[in-house]
Amino acid sequence: MYKLTVFIPDAALEQVKSALFTAGAGKIGNYEQCCWQVQGAGQFMPLAGSTPHIGEHDSLKMVDEWRVEMVVDEAFIDATIAALKKAHPYETPAYDVIKVLDF
């Protein structure tokens, strides 16, 4: 089992979550589409060579984003990450995957 954490801009929240759930993420026992989310502010500065979804090169950008966490069974992790990269509007989405031990 893994825990996926991803940062999603407000306008793309439901679209990205839907893609992750469709890929098999967010299933816990007899429940599906499970996640935890909280809104915050992200910042980044697009550099030369980037193709930013929003913002301008060499200019710091602040944006409302959601931190979304969900579990992903090992059988679905590859498909989930592929779905994340396809559905997320950012050129390089910020995410991490952590192995979860079940005791």
For the chain, domains (ranges, CATH) are 2-99 (3.30.70.120)
Q: pLDDT of 10-22, one tens digit each?
A: 999 999 999 999 9
Q: pLDDT of 37-89, one tens digit each?
A: 999 999 999 999 999 988 899 999 999 999 999 999 999 999 999 999 999 99
Cα 17 versus chain centre, distance: 8
Predicted TM-score (pTM) of the model is 0.92
Q: Check pLDDT > 90 for residue 102.
A: no
Where residue 103 falls among pLDDT bands split at 50, 70, 90? confident
Describe the strand order of the beta sheet including 2-9 as a list of residue ranges. Answer: 36-44, 61-72, 2-9, 95-99
Sign of the torsion formed by the C-alpha atoms of 84, 85, 88 and 94: positive
